[in-house]
Amino acid sequence: MPVTPLHMGPGLAVKAVAGRHFSLMVFGFSQVAIDIEPLVRIVRGDAILHGFTHTYLGATLIALVSVAVGRPVCQYLLRYWNPDPSSPFLNWLPAPRVIPWPAAFTGAFVGTYSHVFLDSIMHSDMRPLAPLLEGNALLSVITIDMLHLVCVLSGVLGILLMFAVFHVRRRIRRST
């Protein structure tokens, strides 16, 4: 299934660690962008779903497009993200109105490269190092169930870490 939300789990973990140096929105944009090819191939009924965009060379191009197109699109959406100031839940998700270029690049490249890496483990039609190598050494290195579990747990861990950082920063601000 293209555009799986499971890819967002590792992105949440990276966001928790990298903070403002990583755009989770551009990461998400790159996840959707890279899966346009498999979606088109599903609609056409192709036997091979993961082609050029699911190689590291293709992922590099998709990342560059995600920075150029995704950054302004995500910034536009962020203009409408106004968490309710009285909501203790939403206030721990602050979002800057402007996505710094380095954060956009980090989000896009981590997004596309992690996507190729994760899909290489579970899809037999992947050739991540094409055109240099035609094989896929990562195929079935772990079970699909384990891969999904790792993605979900990394997302949960990322959310918990972001929530903890918010509370620590809030206590520091209140004490000063």
Q: Who's near 131: CB < 8 A, 6+ residues apart? A: 55, 57
Q: What is the pLDDT of residue 169?
A: 79
The answer to whether 36 touches 76, Cβ cutoff 8 Å, is no
In this prediction, residue 88 carries a pLDDT of: 61
User: Which pLDDT score is estimated for 112?
Assistant: 98
pLDDT confidence of residue 157:
97
Distances (CA, A) of 57 to 35, 76, 112, 174: 15, 29, 10, 48
Of 127, 113, 117, 128, the closest CA to residue 27 belongs to: 113
| pLDDT (0 to 100) of residue 102 | 98
Predicted TM-score of the model (pTM): 0.90
The tens-digit pLDDT sequence of the chain (176 residues) is: 566 789 999 999 999 999 999 999 999 999 999 999 999 999 999 999 999 999 999 999 999 999 999 999 999 988 877 666 666 656 556 667 799 999 999 999 999 999 999 999 999 999 999 999 999 999 999 999 999 999 999 999 999 998 898 888 778 888 87
